[in-house]
Structure 1
Amino acid sequence: MDNETKIVNMPLIPLRGLSVFPYMVLHFDVGRKKSIKALEAAMAKDQKIFLTSQFDIDIDSPGINDFYKVGTVCKIKQMLKLPGDAIRVLVEGIQRAEVDEIIEELPYFRVNVKTYFDSIEVDKETQALMRSCVSSFERYISVSNRVSPDVVLSVSSIDEPGRLADIIAAQITLKTEQKQALIDAIDIKLRLERLYGLLLTEIEILQVEKDINDKVKSQINKSQKEYYLREQIKAIRDELGEEDAQDDEIEEMRKRLKRHRLSKKIDKKIASEIDRYSRLSPSSAESGVIRNYVNWILDLPWRKETKDEIDLVKAQTILDDEHFGLESVKERVVEYLAVRDLTKSMKGPIICLVGPPGVGKTSIAKSIAKSLNREFVRMSLGGVRDEAEIRGHRRTYIGAIPGRIINGIKEAGTKNPVFLFDEIDKLSSDFRGDPASALLEVLDPEQNKEFTDHYLEVPFDLSKVMFITTANSLNTIPRPLLDRMEVIQVSGYTEYEKLNIAKKYLVTKKMEEHGLKKVNLSISDDAILEVIRQYTRESGVRELERKVADVCRKAAVRIVKGEVKSVRVTDKNVDKYLGKTKYHYDLIAEKDQVGIVTGLAWTAVGGDTLSIEVNTMKGKGKLQLTGQLGDVMKESAQAGLSFIRTIASEYGIADDFYETMDIHVHIPEGAIPKDGPSAGITMATALISALSEIPVNRFVAMTGEITLRGRVLPIGGFKEKSLAAKRAGIKKILFPYENAKDLEDIPDSVKEEIEFVPVKSMEEVLAHALVKPKKTNVKKAAKGAKGENHEN
């Protein structure tokens, strides 16, 4: 049968997993940029586009050899923009076509297609094929629920053979290759023959599916029959006085529920769940879900709690034995115990221990639990980003379990344990929720008495739990959460405290772990101090513990080899066991110098000294800052420079120095970022020293922020900075007057060696820091660059 043809130029879109027949109305989504441009080109012309199918649906960017050459010319009926730059398109198939020539591939496929018009002539053979297809299509609908029976009426009235074949093909479920075989059939008789064969095959498959469904349905009816039989067996056993395992379990559940003496509301809910469980078959999935839920409820310590042993002397002894130093933390724990003893009903406080790593925050919480005679539960919050970790999963989810708080209470076996939330500053959040917000209810004494876990769906009283949290920094803790906690700062240890911790705890602990006895290994105090100073840089003792373990391992090797029977480690041979020194600390200079001042800084591993150097040279008033300084320190330098301009004449500095001299401020160790509001007076002092050529006392260190008028503002980390000053050999520390209250936190061993001078203004700072009196009203011309520092 001949078909009329015509060559037409139009855009092409390859479809993934879709085939379009003539006379078929279809909507699909377009997201590829190439396809969107083809749509736009078609809409700009005559709204006609050529659609064909890809060979492989996994290819995201098909080339000219990745799609079938025979497809359908379609009319674009509607376009709708979707979120994400996608477009939903409604098209209607018009006629078959075949790619004759690919004109261009970019920015979209543009092709010349050869269109085909189906002949409407019908001979006897064609008419017979049409009747066979319609009859088979009716049988297909009778065994399939995928096509409406009304479609048969519209199909049977079609006289055109090509149209009949295409409309039926569009209604039946076929694979892409099968649909393409029908699209490729330009000859109508061939098309009808292929369609008839596919219909017969699909009818056979559908009949098999129906047989399988009938078989499954009969099996379900069989299961229901078995259920009734089991119920009859149960009734017979009851008559005979026999009980099965499930009956025993259900009875035990009811007894346990009665023993818990829960509130009426909770008791009624759990009793109804037990009743549901008793009516279900043990093999059903829901039976297992209810069983786990009821057991979780019954395993919780609803009324069980440990009795606090309020013995202040015993508590103080436990804290002193297990922790050296940390007096403020111990004092707070003893205060809590005293108030608890007086009130008998005080709610558990929420204590937040904040300090650098390795200072013993977690072990303090364990000691608190021990001193109270309570169970201890620890939950690490580092990296937790799912709210379900706190509140649990709802029972509708497969594998749902309660949150880790309820799980911890269950493990503790009491409703009043000491519950530690470790690393609370490292909580994070994502699309699964915000755990920090979920903790708001947990840590609020007014709300946590009715804490409701998503899995339990009943309130549990957490008001008697003593919650303790730990953090390295308060900066990342959300303000509403921080507001619910009492913050106790756990600062770093002094060298003296580290020495005692090593002698009393670490050395003994590590020797036992490595199978060593006192006769095998001895470590002198000087050796421990050498390790503290040269091999560790931390506020806590975690790295110190590792180094002691290193020494124990090396000693064990020598003893096992038979080289020696005992090892004695001193400051002279410690490098033999730990290698070359790892760290060094800045010490004071040999002489007073111009433009160099020692500042004090706080870092995550404790305090450190900060040497600030200033040099001046002829120029045009440029201020250069180097050394990886943050915005705060840069602003401090600018503020200090502005202040100096107001007092320049008093120190013999030329009034126009800011126009005739370039100033370079540098803080060594430039690769390490430095920032914070505590170096203002240090940089101002260094600037004045460099501009006036007055040396700075090398035994003086300082910390504090400066204002434009020379006032000294308070700082943080005072204790850690003081320890760093002692380590460097500083004899005098200048600090803000408002930090005078922090002197009580400074160890006596530091106060004995260092003079602490509170200052309110830069005038006082300069009076203590500069080694020569100020040159009042002495005018001095700006001088050139100083090739080297002046010495006193």
Structure 2
Amino acid sequence: MSSNALTCVGMRIPVARMRSIYRLEEVSQRLEKLPARDHESLRATYERMLEKGEARFQVKPSGLPAMESLYDELPNFHEVLDDVRRQIALCEASSDALEITPLLLLGPPGVGKTHFARQLAELLGTGMGFVSMSSLTAGWVLSGASSQWKGARAGKVFEALVEGDYANPVMVIDEIDKAGGEAAYDPLGSLYSLLEHDTASKFIDEFAEVPVDASQVIWVATANDAHAIPEPILNRVNVYEVSAPDFEAARAIARRLYEKLRSSHDWGRSFDTDPTDAVLDRMAELAPREMRRAWMTAFGNARLAKRATVLTEDLPAAGSKRGKIGFMQ
């Protein structure tokens, strides 16, 4: 893909140029110094780095992308979208790389924080890495562990850059306020340097011990409570409080999801073009992340009843543990 702007009717195609994220000479030197019969995993890592090469696509939109659909789909994320749009505008007519200040999305579960991150990756045309801090079992999952330790491996950031195709993937740190890990190791320690552009450009994973350029990574962290997040992290990110969508916005989200599910499945042709007002009113009581499951349950129930219209009785029962209607979690 060339570095020239590519456009076609109705859309912008992301522009990519190549960026070296590590030096092959350093990798070769590390590989040569390894003992012949030890460190098989580390040897395989170096060989993989040499095989993949040092260059990755550095993607940025060729102009301000059409974001109207995102504003419609994510009505409670307008402030964040405005910020992203401003930062894209800074580089659109220049040779500069796209830089997005790390984002921290604060809000209750289910309001769509992780979905926003996925949509951002799709908008920018780059890849996405994902780390769930609530299920973290090793404190070194981001930065890797020394190859001297049994079972050690590279961290998620290193893997996303080396195994991926992009120099600027979206990296999601989900539920950063729930970071635990091993008592002797701060699982967020590596973020202090990774969230700083200058230090991230020579990030060293503790397993591979080869500097990689992580300065272009686009960081999106999510959390429910800012009080559990270290101050050095908060000082390095733009913080946005994301509330649950109001009733009308939630209703609109439910309608768009109905239309998307109906149009993306062959069985969707069996159902009405538009859902009823009564069903939309009930769906609007759900957290956004619960809506898809509720719609799928409703579609299935309506199909079993041989109806083209989804009724409120097709929705998951209120108070059930799964597909809960009427309560915001």
- TM-score normalized by the length of structure 1: 0.35
Cα drift, residue 513 of structure 1: 5.9
Conserved? CA contact 2:318–2:325, under 8 Å: no
Q: Partner of 1:352 in structure 2?
A: 104
Matches of 2:272 and 2:278, distance apart in 1: 19
Tell me which amino acid in the other structure corresponds to 2:27. Answer: I
Encode CA deviations 1:532-566: one digit per residue, 9 max, x unaligned: 34xx4xxx31233333222112112222xxxxxx3
Say whether 1:316 aligns with 2:67: yes
Aligned to 2:309: 568
- 2:239 corresponds, among 482, 487, 511, to 487
Distance, in Å, in 2 between the alignment partners of 1:471 and 1:301 is 36
**1:554 matched to 2:292:** no
Aligned to 2:288: 541
Q: For residues 423 and 351 of structure 1, what CA distance do their matches in structure 2 show?
A: 13
Contact 2:254–2:280 (CA<8 Å) still a contact in 1? yes
Distance in 2 separating the partners of 1:476 and 1:404: 22
Equivalent residue, structure 1, for 2:164? 412
The structure-2 alpha-carbon separation of the partners of 1:553 and 1:315, relative to structure 1 and needing over 3 Å to count, comes to same
The count of corresponding residues between Structure 1 and Structure 2 is: 306
Q: 1:462 to 1:523 in 2, by over 3 A?
A: same
Give the Å deviation of 1:485: 0.9
Give the 3 Å change call, closer, same or farther, for CA 262–499 of structure 1 in structure 2.
closer
Q: Partner letter of residue 87 of structure 2?
A: Y
Is the CA contact (8 Å cut-off) linking 2:144 and 2:155 kept in structure 1?
Answer: yes
Task: Provide, for residues 445-486 of structure 1, a one-character-per-residue CA deviation record: whole Å limited to 9, x for no partner.
Answer: 232111111111122111111111111221211122111111
Matches for 1:600-749 after TM superposition, within 5 Å: 605=328
Alignment of 1:499 onto 2:251: yes
1:401 to 153, 162, 172: 153
List gaps (5 residues or longer) in structure 1: 1-259, 560-565, 586-603, 607-792
Answer whether contact 1:425 1:471 (CA < 8 A) is retained: yes
- Aligned equivalent of 2:13: none
Find the partner of 1:477 among 222, 226, 229.
Answer: 229
For 2:58 and 2:70, locate their aligned partners in 1 and report how far apart those are by CA, in whole Å. Answer: 20
Please say if residues 22 and 212 of structure 2, whose CA atoms lie closer than 8 Å, have aligned partners that are also in contact: no
Aligned partner of 2:79: which letter? S
Greater Rg by CA: 1
Once residues 376 and 383 of structure 1 are traced to their aligned partners in structure 2, the CA distance between those partners, rounded to angstroms, is 18
1:514 CA drift (Å): 9.0
Matched with 2:88 is 337
Offset, 1:341: 2.8
Q: Given the superposition, is the C-alpha separation of residues 337 and 421 from structure 1 closer, same or farther in structure 2, using an over 3 Å criterion? A: same
TM-superposed CA distance for 1:493, in Å, is: 0.6
Which residue number corresponds to residue 327 of structure 1? 78
Residues of 2 paired with 1:273 and 1:390: CA distance?
A: 21
Q: What SS does structure 1 have at the residue aligned with 2:92?
A: helix
Q: Distance in 2 between matches of 1:520 and 1:506?
A: 10
Residue 409 of structure 1 aligns with an amino acid whose one-letter code is L
SS in 1 for 2:189: helix
- For 2:219 and 2:49, how far apart are their aligned partners in 1? 22
How much does 1:386 deviate?
Answer: 2.4
RMSD value over aligned CA atoms?
3.3
In structure 1, distance between residues paired with 2:63 and 2:75: 20
TM-score by length of 2: 0.79
Matching residue's letter, 1:326: F
Cα distance change on mapping 1:318 and 1:368 into 2, 3 Å: farther
Distance in 2 (CA, whole Å) between partners of 1:478 and 1:347 is 24
Contact 2:59 2:166 in 1 (8 A): no
Secondary structure, aligned partner of 1:430: coil
1:270 equivalent among 22, 27, 52: 27
Name the residue aligned to 1:292: 44
Structure 2: distance between partners of 1:389 and 1:299: 24
- 1:390-426 per-residue CA deviation (whole Å, 9 max, x = no partner) reads 2212122233311111112223222222222222112
**Residue among 132, 135, 143 paired with 1:391:** 143
Going from structure 1 to structure 2, the CA distance change for 1:407 and 1:532 (only over 3 Å counts) comes to: same
Residue equivalent to 2:209: 457
C-alpha distance 577-428 of structure 1, shift in aligned 2 (>3 A):
closer
Please give the alpha-carbon distance, in whole angstroms, between the structure 1 residues aligned to 2:53 and 2:45: 15
1:392–1:581 CA distance, 2 compared to 1 (3 A): closer
Secondary structure of 1:395's counterpart equals coil
Q: Residue 386 of structure 1: SS of its match in structure 2?
A: coil
Find the partner of 2:194 among 429, 439, 442.
442
Counterpart residue type for residue 430 of structure 1 = E
Secondary structure of 1:326's aligned partner: helix
Q: Distance in 2 between matches of 1:395 and 1:413?
A: 25
String of CA shifts for 1:323-380, please: whole Å, max 9, x gaps: 3453222211111101223662564411112222222222222222232222222222
In 2, are the aligned partners of 1:524 and 1:569 still within 8 Å (CA)?
yes
1:446/1:323 CA distance change after superposition, 3 Å = same
Closer/same/farther in 2, CA of residues 554 and 514 from structure 1, 3 Å limit:
farther
- Report the identity percentage: 22
Larger RCO: 1 or 2 (CA < 8 Å, sep 6+): 2
Aligned to 1:57: none
Distance 1:416 1:469 in 2: 16
Shift of 1:290: 5.5
Which residue in the other structure is 2:261 paired with? Answer: 509
Task: Kindly indicate whether the alpha-carbon contact (under 8 Å) linking 1:350 and 1:468 is maintained by their aligned counterparts in 2.
Answer: yes
CA distance in 1, matches of 2:283, 2:129: 34
In structure 2, relative to structure 1, the CA distance for the partners of 1:542 and 1:556 (3 Å cut) is same
- Change in CA separation of 1:510 and 1:479 when aligned onto 2, cut-off 3 Å: farther
Aligned to 1:691: none
Change (3 A) 1:261 1:341: closer
Deviation of residue 521 (structure 1)?
A: 8.1
CA distance in 2, matches of 1:516, 1:546: 15
State the alpha-carbon separation in 2 of the partners of residues 548 and 458 from structure 1. Answer: 48
User: Do the aligned partners of 1:385 and 1:435 also contact (CA within 8 Å) in 2?
Assistant: no
Secondary structure in 1 matching 2:56: coil
2:87 and 2:200 map into 1 onto residues whose CA distance is: 20
In structure 2, how many angstroms separate the alpha carbons of the residues matched to 1:435 and 1:393? 11
Return the alpha-carbon distance in structure 2 between the equivalents of residues 449 and 580 of structure 1.
Answer: 51
Measured in 2, the distance between the counterparts of 1:304 and 1:274 equals: 21
**1:273 CA displacement:** 4.1
Unmatched segments (≥5 aa) in structure 2? 1-19
Check whether the contact 1:511–1:552 (CA below 8 A) recurs between aligned residues: no
Does structure 2 retain, via aligned residues, the 8 Å contact 1:387–1:438?
A: no
Distance 1:577 1:366, change over 3 A: closer
